Structure 1
Amino acid sequence: MPLNRSSQSTERAESTIYAPQYLATTLGMFVLVFLVAFESMAVTTVMPLVSEPLDGERYFALAFAAPIASGMLGMVAAGEVTDRWGPKHPLFIAVAVFCVGLLICGSAENMQTLIAGRILQGIGGGAITVAIYVLIARAYPGHLHSKIFALFATAWVIPAMIGPWMAGLIAVHLGWRWVFSGVAVLVVLAFCGVVPALKSLRSTRNPDLGPISMKRLVLAGLTGVAVICMNLLGNAQGRWSLLGLVLALAVALAAVRPLLPKGTFSLARGLPSTIMTRIFVAGAFFGVEVYLPYLLREDYHLGPDRAGLILTASALCWSVGSWLQGKLGEKVESSTCITVGAIAGCIAISTALATAVFHPPVLVLVCGWAVGGFGMGMIFPRQNVNMLALSAKDEQGFNSSAMTVADSLGNAGVTAVGGVIFAMAATGMGFISVFSFSLLLVLVLIAISPRTKAVARPAA
């Protein structure tokens, strides 16, 4: 009888990501993800303050776009290395590169130096995400994956709500340089919590894999450059801008194909369809969200503070959805959570479209977009859980990088296409046209989400 009680106690302890053997790693990874997210949000607030003393107004757009391209390179490089040697050394290097980039930005005396730091930030930040995914696969049992990814969702939601405000306070009272340099110090402290888990992992070379593919690294860089071009052309008008966007999109799709699992674009069951759902959900949801404050200002004459409340409501419901899917764990299949999230996204985008057409009370849009936030909380963590469940051990790095690349491509690509649609739409039809386009994407997402279900591949 005492043995049974002891076994039950051990089982209960191992059913939480806060068990003693996981606590330091869990908290360390949470703070790392939080700081990477905070930095991406904070830059939006402080960049106007940065560009003025550095005389860099003409480089303003590039300062935002550069980390997108370098992030793709960091994601793919981390995937290549982690499959061959494990996440230990890649995560050390990624954190070091990220911190060096922050310190360069914090000490920059001109805009060119700051952009160089932003490029290193992108490489390090992209690699950190991929290495952490692999660390989760190696350090936590499968039944805890939904819970740890739910926690990571919170690590992104909190900066979305308070990041710009905190960055503004730091910039006003301490100076904008501390938004970069101060975060570098915190990153090092957070990483100390992850070090013990990394030390326990073996980093021997996987003999079944050949050398790192330089072709994939080149294609990752090319994809990033194409995404930058799409972003720069997204809000431009005219026939040549449209042709340039189509060309950049074609280059991005051609270059990204070898960076994704085989069968992704043909919607093969299991892992390929899981990766494809990330492209659609990131594109459809964020492709609408960027226009909501604009819609509320133009059609409802709301100030930025009140218009921002709709995004806050969505972020809070995102946390609720993430918590719920983590609580459900293995009781509900990942494919079911993905489908539920897609349906919730459809409700949200339909509400946004109806708001643009019929102009109901603004509370209708707030409630509808909150439903969408809940759906994203259900779908995003479970896409990651499903990806790891369907990955062989020597493919965890590649598939993790594929998921993050798909996220960036969907978000940036659809936002760019939406910008052209908005610019070319007839007067008064911009919001309706963009939201209709995103609604079409989310309907496709609902159709393909059941294809994410497949028998998990055994670990090598």
Structure 2
Amino acid sequence: MTMSRSRRTLTLGLLVCITAVAFEGMAVVTAMPAAAADLGDAELYAWAFSAVMIPQLFAIAATGRIVDRTGPVRPLLIGLFVFAAGVVVAALAPTMIVLLVGRFVQGLGGGAVNLCLLVVTAQGYDPVERARIMTWFSACWMMPAFLGPGVAAWVAEKFSWHWVFWMILPFVALGLVFMASGLRHLPPRGDTEAPENPVPLLAAVEVAVGLALIQAAGQELGWTSLLWVAPGAACLIHGWPRLMPRDFRLAVSGLAAVVMVRLITAGVFFGLQSFLPLMLTSRGVSLLVSGAVITIASVGWMLGSWLQARPWLRLSRDQIIIAGAVCVALGAAVTATSAWLPAVSLPLSLLGFTASGVGMGLQTASTSLALMQLSSEEEIGRNGSSLQVGEAAGNALLVGAAGTVYAALTPVASPTVVFGVQMSALALIALAAIGAARRIGFVENHSRLA
């Protein structure tokens, strides 16, 4: 792939920005226990993560609306500055409340950045180049999974948890420097008519609040949970359809099916990932080995992302998505089997979760590419926000559901039954992604035309 100098620096800047956002997510998880011990208010610990998710969902939807009017450059720059401001607030935080404010601001900026990077890729590269760019994006997401936790733990112990946040700022600055010349060559869209069906911002607020309420209900089961579930479900039912692509229905093809595949597979994969280390350590596997299972699955993700961009892969883009959904479902089934068979849980879970990782690599890049091909230019921001909101919602709903099953069964059942029921349910849900993938319809694979 031959590029001009401005395109090379744009590409490098995009990769650095993705690394910054990914490192923030991976490293801060490791540093948060030290921050909580230092700042106190341990009861607010869980909100350090929810404080990012809620504004991120809103920012993705709102940015999609803005991008379709103005183009991605201005929202991307604003998003990076907002993200950096949140990092500074968190790094300087003297109390847990201030840290939560910083995390909230980070969520706003990070959501805007993620959406804009997708649109910049759609506008700045031709269809053949996009598949390769997506492979590099996956590598930038996976690299912090290898290095982020260890580096963050070392920095927090040697210096302070504050420095884990400060470390993120150089990545943001480098990304801005590298992207500067390339972004100038992207055409502004201020003279383009706004799409007829813009993202309703109130719906974004409803979905974010609804997911937060449902997650809160799952943390402590009882009659009082209904006080959270009922309004949370009402918010989701009312707001969700309005955030999806035009004419969205659960059973239709095209963009709606693309969003559903992404939602289900992401939710299943991260639902398994959230509880797989807990299952393995409860069976005597060391934390180091349990973490290695997750790391190897990340390698599988990178492998799948690499495969989807190979010119010798003679599959259409929709067929690659189907293959990815099948791998996720088969891997989830093998992982669920490992939950029922403690004696062989380590090798089976390693095999199954790695297969799911390969599937995620195949379908995550391919659903983004399919969305670009199925969207008109004026609606790429709106539909891109639908895809990313769907992914975030799938994570929140299915990880939350897995947690609810764990909380409900742990007092009354053996660990084998708890993890077996939980992971079997996720494997069954994964089958729905295969059905959705089959309904997408033909999407050309431009990589095989290269």
The alignment's TM-score, normalised by the length of structure 2, stands at 0.93
Aligned to 1:294: 278
Sort the Cα spacing of 1:400 and 1:207 in 2 relative to 1 into closer, same or farther, 3 A: same
When residues 40 and 455 of structure 1 are mapped into structure 2, their CA distance, relative to the original with a 3 A threshold, is: closer
- The corresponding residue for 1:6 is none
1:431 aligns with 2:415: no
Aligned to 2:220: 236
Alpha-carbon distance between aligned partners in 1 of 2:26 and 2:259, rounded to the nearest angstrom: 25
> Percent identity among equivalent residues?
28
Asked if the contact 2:317–2:443 (Cα under 8 Å) also holds between the matched residues in 1, the reply is no
2:256 corresponds, among 272, 275, 284, to 272
Query: Displacement, 1:292?
Result: 0.5
Counterpart Cα distance in 2 of 1:424 and 1:432: 13
Instruction: Name the structure 2 match of 1:366.
Output: 350
Q: Is the 8 A contact 1:85 1:203 kept in 2?
A: yes
Return the letter of the residue paired with 2:427: L
The within-5 A match list for 1:246-285 is 247-285=231-269
Match among 56, 63, 73 for residue 41 of structure 2: 56
Please tell me whether the aligned partners of residues 154 and 319 of structure 1 are also in contact (alpha carbons under 8 angstroms).
yes
The equivalent residue for 2:126 is 141
1:26 corresponds, among 1, 5, 11, to 11
Residue 332 (structure 1) aligned to one of 294, 302, 315: 315
SS at match of 1:327: coil
Shift of 1:132: 0.8
How far off is 1:335 after superposition? 0.9
The within-5 A match list for 1:156-171 is 156-171=141-156
User: Please, which moves more after superposition, 402-411 or 52-61?
Assistant: 52-61
Deviation larger for 58-67 or 259-268:
259-268
Tell me which of 437, 441, 447 is aligned to 1:449. Answer: 437
Aligned residue number for residue 302 of structure 2: 319
Indicate the larger mover: 289-298 or 426-435.
Answer: 426-435
Instruction: Answer whether contact 1:144 1:329 (CA < 8 A) is retained.
Output: no
1:8 maps to what in 2? none
Q: Residues 115-153 of structure 1, C-alpha deviation per residue, up to 9 Å, x if partnerless?
A: 111111001001001111111111100111111111111
Superposed, 1:107-118 pairs within 5 Å as 107-118=92-103
Alpha-carbon spacing, 1:455–1:316, altered in 2? closer, same or farther (3 Å)? closer
Residue type of the partner of 2:302? S
**In the alignment, residue 366 of structure 1 is paired with which amino acid?**
L
Counterpart of 2:369?
A: 385
5+ long unaligned stretches in structure 1: 1-12
Once the two structures are TM-superposed, the CA of residue 211 in structure 1 deviates from its matched residue by 9.9
| Counterpart for residue 338 of structure 2 | 355
Mapped to 2, the partners of 1:371 and 1:60 lie a distance apart of: 33
Shift of 1:294: 1.1
- The two structures have a TM-score, normalised by structure 1, of 0.91
- Closer, same or farther in 2 for the Cα pair 1:234/1:392, shift >3 Å? same
Aligned residue identity for 2:357: G
- Partner amino acid for 2:324? G
Q: Residue 52 of structure 1: SS of its match in structure 2?
A: helix
Letter in structure 1 aligned against 2:207: T
**Aligned-partner residue type, residue 248 of structure 1:** G
Instruction: Check the 8 A contact 1:68/1:227 in 2, yes or no.
Output: no
Call closer, same or farther: CA 1:242–1:371 in 2, change over 3 Å.
farther
Counterpart CA distance in 2 for 1:283 and 1:168 is: 27
Assess if the C-alpha contact under 8 Å between 1:234 and 1:415 holds in 2: no
Q: Give the conservation status (yes or no) of the 8 Å contact 1:249–1:413.
A: no
Change (3 A) 1:210 1:134: closer
Give, as a single letter, the amino acid of the residue that structure 2 aligns with 1:427: A
SS at match of 1:291: helix
Equivalent of residue 188 in structure 1, options 166, 173, 176: 173
User: Structure 2 regions of 5+ residues with no counterpart?
Assistant: 445-450
The one-letter amino acid of 1:420's match is T
Which deviates more, 360-369 or 149-158? 360-369
SS at match of 1:295: helix
From the superposition, tell whether residues 175 and 212 of structure 1 become closer, same or farther in structure 2 (CA, over 3 Å): farther
Match of 2:290 among 287, 302, 307: 307
